[in-house]
Chains A and B, each alone.
Chain A
Amino acid sequence: MQIVLLVVSLAALACDAPRDPEETLTRVRRGGVLNAGASEDPPFLVRRGDDAVGIEAALIKDFAARNGAHVHWVWGAQETQFRALEKYQLDLVAGAVSAKTLWKKRVAVTRPYLESTTILACRRGVVPPTDLRDVEVAIEDGDPIGAEIEKQHGNVKRMHPLDVNQNVVAGNRTRILGLGYVFVETLQREKRSLATAPGENAFLQALEVFLAQRHDAIANAAGEQP
């Protein structure tokens, strides 16, 4: 029992715990720079020169600002970014990072900050289809939702960029509604997260607490259910 008491008092002493083994949070706060690996994921994360805009971009900038830092965006291939993150060469990786990413075992992944949905929608004035069989559904080229539409025997029309002149479309809710389409039904859900360097628990805690505070605001901005 003495050991237990010792452990508890040690824990109480650790008032600034948990700490980062590689001191990420301290470095961000002292140096004023947060190195974020980014890849485009409209409308959440969109590149504007070296800067980024979108809901996710704004979120990361807010978090950095709260810690007295600005974001240094590093654009590139996400696989490379994850490898850099694993070796503490980046502080964070953003851009459609799923809560279930296969990198989960090797880097830290935050709790989902948003459950984004992929929806089926149609142009205003078009009668929504009750069944997708033989219906032409337009999607952004490369959107994995194509598989679901094929499964429901719909005809997938892949295009880039997805425009506003299609009768029936499928894609990310925030984006599709932003194009002026009318919601028909939810096809899939995806939990969105951010990735941080492995074991940097102070940084992870600070980020997760921040994301929890912003949870409802993010959902509102994305037009999703909180």
Chain B
Amino acid sequence: MALQDKYAELLQTATTLGVANLASSEQNGVLHISGTAKSTADYDALWALYDKIDPNMASGDLMMNIDIKADAGAQLKVTTESTNLNIRSTPSTEGEIVGKAAHDEVVTLVEKTDDSWWKIRTADGEEGYAFAQYLSPL
């Protein structure tokens, strides 16, 4: 249970922030944590805490599989580094590019297709799949 102690502050904060379905379990020297944060701000706070407890998150002893609550119709901000986000016809990089969303543009969530691809719609009505990593619920 040493890892539970190492990341006690993180687990405590997750509880305080009301992370839904919070679960944690240690396996083969890795602490697995899962749950759904209420907001992007909460999510960022937890990740900042992880980086503080384990500098550069280099130990490889925490799997923080926390997502952010977002239902269909939620507003998402495009959080690419600076480039446009491709919108594709299918949930894969093989999919044809059917549109683009600009950096910092706000789009609407249609459905969470899977872990990595979400179906979105832009204000211009372009609809398709985008890489979820670059979408942050507002």
Tell whether A pairs with B.
no
